[in-house]
Amino acid sequence: MSAKRDTKFLVPEVDKLIHEPARFSIMALLSVIERADFLFVKNQTGLTPGNLSSHLTKLETAGYVEITKEFVGKMPKTFLKLSKKGRSAFDDYRTQMKRMFK
Amino acid sequence: MNDINLKELERRAYRSTFEDGIYDLYFGLFLLILAWIPVLESIGVSRFIGYPLLASPLFLIWAGKRYITIPRLGAVEFGEGRKKYKHIVRLVGIIALALMMGPIFIIAKGGFGGSDTIPWIMIALMGLPVFILAVIYANHPRIYIYAAAMLFCIVENEFLLGLSDSPFISLLSFGIVGIVIFIFGLALLIQFLKKYPKESAEATHVG
């Protein structure tokens, strides 16, 4: 038996936080832009405000997404940005998924 | 999951900012103003009033994005590549505008030997790189079509002016295309307003 295990098909290796479809959509969108407000992400992902909010809380807790609040005029706006940790985790996730399907 | 799909995702997100029809309205209005300038000149309005009017639809882009698009679609900042290109377009635009002051001064002083054809050609040649860069920056098939239509209108106008020097020629060459683009822009705007109704404050941010 080889000492080194072939982890190609080990699903537990994949980051489950990103693997969830809604969170994957959020991460994928944030990975291709600099930053966006809550409304833009909601419109692009098609999630409801409550649903998006709860997924963002999980991603923020993991340190994947940076959430900042700004006032544009008198309106409060929530801006979302992928953190360095989030970008690296998303890149790793993509690499792992590619490896699995190779 | 692969790079191509992420590129496609970025392009889709970018192109969603064109769904509002604001740029279509801008191009339509620009061509309509261009169509009316010779008519205004024929009734004694100076071209120094007519041509600066061409900059007025830029206000439409600013106001439209601020008061219509962002409150409905949301605000987004794209990556470094697009930002860098935007700065280049702005820089070239400012340089071109500064250089245009020379020919404008010559026209104001009566042109070369009474003719202002050469200074106007110089202005057009200075504006062309800015126009081309801005169209490439827009990176949208509709904008490419409008840019091609605009160039076609200029050629068509020159051809028709060879047949008749009536000021109404420009209404035919620029006006028709301008109206078509403007109406298309209005249709897109109506569709956009239906697709993205204005959201309540609670739906636009995390509480």
Global ipTM: 0.83
Predicted confidence at residue A1, as pLDDT, reads 44
**Which pairing describes strands A75-82 and A65-72: parallel, antiparallel, or unpaired?**
antiparallel
Share of chain B above pLDDT 70, in %: 95
Backbone angles phi, psi at A71, to 5 degrees: -100, 120
Around Cβ A18, how many Cβ atoms within 10 Å?
22
Q: What is the pLDDT of residue A90?
A: 94
What is the average pLDDT score of chain B?
A: 86
Contacts of B196 in chain A (CB under 8 A): 43
What local confidence, expressed as pLDDT, does residue B22 receive?
Answer: 95
Give the pLDDT confidence score for residue B82 in this predicted structure.
87
- Distance, CA of A37 to CA of A81 (rounded, Å): 9
Cα torsion angle, A26, B13, B197, B86, sign: positive
pLDDT tens over chain A, length 102 residues: 444 555 555 566 788 899 999 999 999 999 999 999 999 999 999 999 999 999 999 999 999 999 999 887 777 889 999 999 999 999 999 988 888 877
Test A44 with B16 for CB contact under 8 angstroms.
yes
Rounded to the nearest angstrom, the minimum Cα separation between A6 and chain B is 22
Looking at residue B64, its amino acid is G
pTM, full prediction: 0.82
- Consecutive H or E run containing B180: helix B176-195
Which residue did the predictor score with more confidence, B53 or B114?
Answer: B53
More confident residue, B7 or B50: B7
d(CA B61, CA B185): 12
Determine the 3-state secondary structure of A67 from DSSP: strand
Q: Tell me how many degrees the CA angle B127-B124-B26 measures, rounded to the nearest 5.
A: 60
What pLDDT shows up at residue A6? 58
pLDDT tier for residue B206 given thresholds of 50, 70 and 90? low
Residue B148 has pLDDT above 70, yes or no: yes
Q: Poorest-confidence range of A48-52, B109-113, B118-122?
A: B109-113
Q: Give residue-wise pLDDT tens across range B152-204.
A: 898 888 888 888 888 889 899 999 999 999 999 999 999 999 999 987 766 66
Q: Could you tell me the two tokens for B197?
A: 């109704």
Question: pLDDT value at position A2?
Answer: 46
Using a CB–CB cutoff of 8 Å, tell me whether A102 touches chain B: no
Q: Tell me whether residues B79 and A49 touch, CB distance under 8 A.
A: no
- pLDDT tens for B51-107 read 788 888 889 999 999 999 999 999 999 988 888 888 898 898 899 888 888 888 887
- The CA distance from A4 to the nearest CA of chain B, in Å, is 28
Of the candidates B13, B83, B204, which has its C-beta nearest A44's C-beta? B13
Confidence of residue B120 (pLDDT cuts 50, 70, 90): confident
Give yes or no for a contact between B24 and B142, defined as CB atoms under 8 angstroms apart: yes
SS3 A100: helix
Does any CB of chain B come closer than 8 Å to the CB of residue A58? Answer: no
Q: Which residues contact B40 (CB under 8 A, 6 or more apart)?
A: B49, B50
* Phi, psi of B203, deg, nearest 5: -85, -5
